[in-house]
Structure 1
């Protein structure tokens, strides 16, 4: 990825967090954290990675709400970042957070089993 795309992605990530948590009033959208924004080299596409607090239903509702608000979000980004053309936005869940949490809970279980085993010796 080129440096300009990286910079635009970083700027979008910052602005996106502000927009999602302050400007959008859709009740379907839960507590959203923007974890990353990857912008294509030609600055035409932006993939926004998010994590959502809540269960699978909450996550789905949030995605639906974001899809509905995409036009508004894009125009807000366009006003805040000086680009000739605002990138098309797609939202995706950041699976790495769930993956990291799963690993952490497994490590915690292993440690607990190890501690229990040592107590019983």
Structure 2
């Protein structure tokens, strides 16, 4: 991950907003309408920007949409240059952001563990010896 500095963070946020607008208004590709820009990591020298996106669909469709975005990256970069007032417009690289999927997987694992634990305590008669239960003297 690229280390964020206040200026690169600010520029990354501006790029994220502008790209969302450009994709919606300029590309006009119906397959790219349900894309969300989650974050943009900009290198300190502003030469490169990784744009993380989320979108619906199976993994093959997502890979295809990300490839389409990377194919359109030079056009988007040129349009960013017209809209933003910075000397160097970063080269754009689009990547699928897997954070949401990973969070859902972790949440499912936690739910499964909690359910298993509750089932074990419910089925086990010695579970009355748990915290708060009085032990005979």
TM-score strictly above 0.5: yes
Q: Which residue of 2 aligns with 1:80?
A: 83
Distance in 2 (alpha carbons) for counterparts of 1:54 and 1:9: 26
Pick 1 or 2: higher relative contact order, CA cutoff 8 A, min separation 6.
1
Moved more, 36-45 or 101-110: 101-110
After TM superposition, give the deviation of residue 81 of structure 1 in Å. Answer: 1.4
Residue 3 in 1 paired to residue 10 in 2? Answer: no
Q: Mind listing any 5+ residue stretches in structure 1 that lack a counterpart?
A: none
TM-score by length of 1: 0.83
Q: Is the 8 A contact 2:38 2:54 kept in 1?
A: yes
Distance in 2 (alpha carbons) for counterparts of 1:30 and 1:61: 14
Q: Which has the larger radius of gyration?
A: 2
Residue 64 in 1 paired to residue 93 in 2? Answer: no
Residue 90 in 1 paired to residue 90 in 2? Answer: no
Distance in 1 (alpha carbons) for counterparts of 2:23 and 2:82: 15
Residue 51 in 1 paired to residue 54 in 2? Answer: yes
TM-score by length of 2: 0.75
Q: Which residue of 2 aligns with 1:19?
A: 22
Over 3 Å counting, the alpha-carbon distance change for 1:103 and 1:71 in structure 2 is same
Distance in 1 (alpha carbons) for counterparts of 2:23 and 2:107: 28
Distance in 2 (alpha carbons) for counterparts of 1:42 and 1:75: 18
After TM superposition, give the deviation of residue 40 of structure 1 in Å. Answer: 0.7
What is the number of equivalent residue pairs in this alignment? 121
Q: Mind listing any 5+ residue stretches in structure 2 that lack a counterpart?
A: 125-137
